[in-house]
């Protein structure tokens, strides 16, 4: 590696680490301040708080690493512009790709690193966070979740039941869009219950417009008995509303393999909407780490345009905020459209990275 490449790479790494550290520190300070009353009321031990926020670090890192990468790259090349080093490198015959090689390699390395963290540590960290919240802390989100309708509720229940619920309203204990699969001990589907809606009576669930289908052992396509009920009072041993709140399937606590196996296992369940949402989450887990590389690629053309030295730092920060905001908003919209059924899952996860990559290549070919 040439001296100039080591110089650029060293600067990017230092600024990235500093920025990531600041993001983590700010998040912890803000979160601690917002939950201070609950922490004091529950007298949460300091050791528990340390464990809680250490578990948060992988989650913070994967969410903020693209912006940290962008800031590190823009600030590094902004400093090179201030010292006229970009002009010298271009005058010496170096093209865009040769000048930006350290930044591009850094982006690829960070993408691979974030992918590894997301698979190796994030699921366990998220599970640990939920456990600490439940056992030691009372957070505002825990109070609010009983007031807001829960959409796309999916979880394993008692007696080998798998639930797919479109909407669960905790205020009046009502269900909409119900699909329940009952399995034997060998994971073969024995019975499928589909209902338009459901209401908790205080003792058991009453389902409306309910269809119950029994299957031959291991034969999902061979219905043995089909019964239709305008109203049906379900087994009193079925999960209660409290169980629904506690046993939700958390996609963030699953890695790619676990989520893919889960989807494949129940791909024939008939719960089209819930499975579509899970497929969107699966593709998002794959696509998300590449945002670190793509957002650097988009920022590099702006970083190499010679600007006024006095405003270089502020311009770099402004560009980072604008690009990051556009990337996150566009990605959130695409995922929402995918979960709404307007985009196929793979398209909803990859369309924004592809578009931003296309914009970056266009800018590079136009100005360099």
| C-alpha dist (Å) from residue 210 to 182, 207, 227, 232 | 15, 6, 8, 7
Per the domain annotation, does 239 fall within a domain? yes
Same domain? For 108 and 184 the reply is no
- Asked if residue 147 is part of any domain, the answer here is no
Based on the domain organization, do 36 and 122 belong to the same domain?
yes
Mean pLDDT of 207-225: 76
Closest CA to 285 of 68, 154, 105, 120: 120
| Average pLDDT rounded to a whole number, residues 258-262 | 81
In a domain, 66, yes or no: yes
pLDDT at 190 over 70: yes
- 219 with 309, same domain: the answer is no
Structurally, the chain folds into a number of domains equal to 2
Residues 25 and 118 in one domain: yes
Contact 111, 292 (CB under 8 A): yes
Confidence band, pLDDT 50/70/90 cuts, at residue 210: very high
Say how far apart CA 73 and CA 114 lie, in whole Å: 17
Cβ atoms 75, 316 nearer than 8 A? yes
pLDDT mean over 340-347: 89
Domain assignment of residue 140, yes or no: no
Q: How many CA atoms lie within 13 A of 271 on its CB side?
A: 31
Residues 65 and 120 in one domain: yes
Range of the domain at 192: 158-246
Asked if 15 and 120 sit in the same domain, the reply is yes
DSSP 145: T
pTM for the model stands at: 0.72
Instruction: Report yes or no on 267 lying in a domain.
Output: no
C-alpha span between 355 and 368 (Å, rounded): 20
In a domain, 101, yes or no: yes
Is residue 109 domain-shared with residue 13, that is, in the same domain?
yes
Among residues 216, 246, 276, the one where a domain terminates is 246
- Separation between Cα atoms, residue 300 and residue 156, nearest integer Å: 47
> Is the same domain home to 228 and 318?
no
- Is position 344 within any domain? yes
Strand partners for 216:
219
């Amino acid at each position: 590696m040439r001296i100039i490449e080591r110089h650029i790479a060293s600067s990017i790494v230092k600024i990235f680490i500093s920025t990531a550290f600041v993001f983590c520190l700010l998040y912890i300070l803000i979160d601690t301040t917002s939950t201070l009353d609950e922490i004091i009321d529950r007298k949460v031990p300091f050791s528990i708080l340390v464990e809680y926020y250490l578990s948060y670090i992988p989650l913070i890192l994967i969410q903020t690493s693209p912006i940290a990468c962008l800031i590190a790259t823009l600030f590094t090349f902004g400093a090179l512009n201030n010292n006229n080093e970009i002009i010298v490198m271009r005058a010496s015959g170096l093209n865009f790709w040769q000048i930006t090689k350290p930044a591009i390699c850094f982006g690829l390395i960070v993408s691979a690193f974030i992918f590894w963290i997301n698979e190796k540590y994030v699921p366990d960290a998220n599970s640990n966070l939920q456990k600490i919240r439940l056992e030691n802390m009372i957070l505002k989100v825990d109070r609010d979740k009983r007031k807001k309708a829960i959409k796309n509720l999916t979880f394993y229940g008692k007696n080998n039941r798998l639930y797919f619920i479109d909407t669960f309203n905790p205020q009046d204990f009502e269900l909409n869009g119900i699909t329940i699969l009952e399995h034997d001990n060998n994971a073969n589907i024995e019975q499928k219950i589909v209902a338009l809606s459901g209401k908790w009576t205080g003792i058991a669930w009453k389902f409306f417009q309910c269809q119950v289908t029994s299957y031959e052992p291991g034969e999902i396509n061979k219905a043995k008995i089909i019964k239709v009920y305008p109203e049906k009072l379900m087994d009193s041993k079925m999960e209660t509303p409290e169980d629904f709140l506690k046993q939700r399937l958390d996609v963030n606590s699953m890695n790619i393999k676990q989520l893919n196996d889960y989807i494949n296992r129940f791909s024939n369940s008939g719960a089209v909407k819930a499975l579509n949402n899970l497929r969107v989450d699966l593709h998002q887990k794959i696509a998300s780490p590449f945002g670190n590389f793509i957002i650097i690629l988009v920022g590099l053309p702006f970083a190499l345009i010679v600007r006024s030295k006095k405003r270089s730092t502020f311009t770099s920060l402004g560009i980072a905020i604008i690009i990051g905001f556009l990337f996150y908003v566009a990605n959130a919209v695409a995922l929402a459209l995918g979960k709404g059924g307007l985009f196929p899952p793979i398209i909803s996860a990859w369309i924004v990275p592809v578009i931003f990559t296309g914009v970056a290549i266009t800018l590079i070919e136009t100005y360099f």
